Amino acid sequence: MAGNTVRLSAIEAVRAAVRPDPVVAAETSVVDTFGSHVFSRAVMRQRLPTQVFTSLVATLDEGAPLDPKIADIVAVVMKDWALEHGASHYAHVFYPLTHLSAEKHDSFFEPSGDGSTIAEFSGKALIQGEPDASSFPNGGLRATFEARGYTGWDATSPAYLLESSNGTTLCIPTVFVSMTGEALDSKTPLLRSQQAMARQADRVLRLFGHEDPAAVVSFAGAEQEYFLIDRAFFLARPDLISAGRTLVGARPPKGQEFDDHYFGAIPERVLAFMMECEHELFTLGIPAKTRHNEVAPGQFEIAPVFERSNVAADHQQLLMTIFKQVARKHGMECLFHEKPFAGINGSGKHVNFSIGNATQGNLLSPGDTPHDNAQFLVFCAAVIRAVHRYGGLLRVSVASATNDHRLGANEAPPAIISIFLGDQLTDVFAQIAAGGATSSKERGTIQIGVDTLPVLPTDPGDRNRTSPFAFTGNRFEFRAPGSLQSIAGPMTMINAILADSLDAIATRIEGLLAKGSAFNDAVQTVLAEVIRDHEAVIFNGDGYADAWQEEAAERGLPNLKTTPDALDQLISPEAIDLFGRYGILSEPEAHSRYEIALEQYVLTIDVEAAAVLKMASTAVLPAAVRFQTELASNAAALRSVGLEADLSLLEQVSACLRDLAAGIEVLTVATTSDDHESEAGRATHARDVLLPAMAEIRAAADRLEVLVADDLWPLPTYQEMLFVR
């Protein structure tokens, strides 16, 4: 029983846990709560002088340069608003290249000459902060002794208040750059890419006769999948603590094969957690819309309403922080790892995106007759061209050691980047390629056959969950991003490649017009060219089918299955040219991101290898040896009285122990024999040597889990973690 103390204690702690009541403001409605902790446009309109507010709105809505002269006024008003809500500190929140948020807190209060304090917050303090730039991933842009870095106020993402039991902090979203101006974060390239895309979209809209279109922005709504397990189980699993995923663990007798968890009744304890999370999100102006059980046991999802992509990226980071904090209040741990449980569906962060503006609306909305909607067709064709030309960059935007476990695993799209258009748009573009579109497939209806039930309208095309990039009615859904990562990277790539395609299409139309073509003829010519040149990327079939792998290769679509396979795309000549032409990343910045991604890949697998060695050596092996000793002792006792012992179980356990010991030896050597000097060589070693060696240890450990007596097994099992509530 001694070997099982930790696991038994965890199970007992779960059984005895006192469940907190959901914290929901019963006396206030969502309407009153929503955005109450945000320095929103409504707050600014009420508190700022009209001239200052007008100037700030021009920056927010039209992309006008921020007037530094208004900073002092905004800072004073923002400080007074924060103090009224109990704030004592402010923090520049930034997003280093770790997929996490970072923040530095400073007090508003300064000592005065008479021994008291006064609250101060200047325009300079609002606009600029100075964290250490050498202590964050920088890919060689900063040497260790070159420590200076700056945060800069991003006025397009609203400031907000974060409350805790010990006080309130004013949080100011910022960019993070080096002293020499290189981007050290995920926000700066996203803002640059948004600006580049907007300029090219404006050119296209003006070609369609819109004389003064509002600034075009990209919108995003990221569906967030996650797991919840009891915190006592989490703390009893060293692999979850250090690596975020279970490095050993046999599949439970019952998993997700009955499909009974998906959209099932939400457990009461989980619903209490969800309600408290939503309350927190609403106060921060984060538009949470949908909550439900996901496919895997213990897995759930929340989906927001669309927001500007920059704000959506910030809100996603804040959402993950809140979920972690609230889960612990409810005695649970929220897991965002893409594959925390082997053999169980992993978690993604499906990024729905569109582009639009205040005057033309959603530019990816086809209307009822998309064949007549030339403007929509041009923007849709730009997406098709972008995904085909730069599929490698989309793939690299979701590349990580953690997401590699999920892509193509029959719960996520394959690593092959293709587009699903659906029956209606596929038919329209086929007509265009053949000479001109004259019709669109119409919506249908479903007659259910029950008189009391309404007739249900159907969309003109189905959805495809196996496609990495799918059109879903009035937007595209990028299904490949992992649940742990920031959506800023994928959205930066989408904006960048769309800027290139809109630029190319606008330039081509302008050229045809200059040669005397009528506008409609020029648009038809360009659309037909785009489809003929890029139709290879359109695939409406089953992305999980083996035949698609072969067909994709014949079409020339890359299949970059692992992160080391994909990362070279980031520094290819085509990528460097793209980033440089639109001012999104300089060549050193692109190379720094390449180096950071390689380093993080290696570090992730190194941590996992160290963790699995420790667990196998100090938990699994001792438990199995105790059981082996018990079996051998029982067999000896039987033989001593002349009885025959069944040695089959002992032989199985002994064989697994030999395999486990051999695996430990192989992985120990592998973790100490990497003599590669380059980070790329270390990444290849991690993928080709460490991961297979870890898999061998896991295979032996998982066989032992189903053989060793339950009272000796030291680790919480999948069945306990996924099903015990």
First to last CA, the chain: 24
How many whole angstroms separate alpha carbon 248 and alpha carbon 245? 9
Share of the chain above pLDDT 90, in %: 74
How many whole angstroms separate alpha carbon 177 and alpha carbon 131? 10
- Under 8 Å between Cβ of 161 and 171: yes
**Mean pLDDT of all residues in the chain?**
91
**Angle (CA) 476 482 484, round 5°:** 130
CA-wise closest residue to 417 among 392, 399, 398, 400 = 392
Mean pLDDT of 672-694: 91
- Listed by start position, the domains of the chain span 34-185, 194-600, 601-723
Place of tokens 């990024």: 351
pLDDT of residue 657 exceeding 50: yes
pLDDT tens sequence across 339-371 = 999 999 999 999 999 999 999 999 999 988 887
Q: Which residues pair with 225 in a beta bridge?
A: 301
How many whole angstroms separate alpha carbon 83 and alpha carbon 407? 47
| Cβ count near 181 (within 10 Å) | 10
| CATH number attached to the domain at 34-185 | 3.10.20.70
Confidence band of 1 (pLDDT split at 50, 70, 90): very low
Burial class (CB in 10 A: 0-12, 13-18, 19+), 654: middle
Mean pLDDT of 580-604: 97
Read off the pTM. Answer: 0.94
**Class of the CATH domain delimited by 601-723:** mainly alpha
Confidence band of 180 (pLDDT split at 50, 70, 90): confident
Identify the pLDDT of residue 658: 97
Confidence band of 46 (pLDDT split at 50, 70, 90): very high
Q: Tell me if 34-185 shares its fold with 194-600.
A: no
Identify the pLDDT of residue 710: 92
Q: What CA–CA distances, in Å, run from 415 to 174, 398, 408, 418, 432?
A: 33, 10, 6, 9, 29
3-state secondary structure of 357: strand
Mean pLDDT of 60-89: 92
Identify the pLDDT of residue 471: 94
pLDDT of residue 25 exceeding 80: no
Mean pLDDT of 363-388: 92
The token duo for 14 is 């779960």
Identify the pLDDT of residue 30: 77
pLDDT of residue 27 exceeding 60: no
E strand or H helix that includes residue 276: helix 268-283
pLDDT of residue 616 exceeding 60: yes
Q: What CA–CA distances, in Å, run from 2 to 619, 676, 714?
A: 12, 43, 9
CA-wise closest residue to 82 among 161, 195, 165, 193 = 161
Q: b or e along 351-375 (b: 16 or more beta carbons within 10 Å of the residue's beta carbon)?
A: bbbbbbbeebebbbbbeeebbebbb
Confidence band of 9 (pLDDT split at 50, 70, 90): confident
The token duo for 724 is 């015990």
How many whole angstroms separate alpha carbon 508 and alpha carbon 497? 17
Q: Is domain 194-600 given the CATH code 3.30.590.10 in the classification? A: yes
CA-wise closest residue to 334 among 225, 227, 247, 238 = 227
Q: What CA–CA distances, in Å, run from 111 to 87, 107, 108, 130, 659?
A: 17, 11, 10, 21, 67
Burial class (CB in 10 A: 0-12, 13-18, 19+), 31: exposed
The token duo for 11 is 């199970």
Q: For the packed helices 488-514 and 309-329, what is the interaxial angle rounded to 10 degrees?
A: 170
Identify the pLDDT of residue 260: 86
- Under 8 Å between Cβ of 132 and 92: no
Mean pLDDT of 647-661: 95
The token duo for 256 is 């997700």
CA-wise closest residue to 703 among 426, 296, 415, 695 = 695
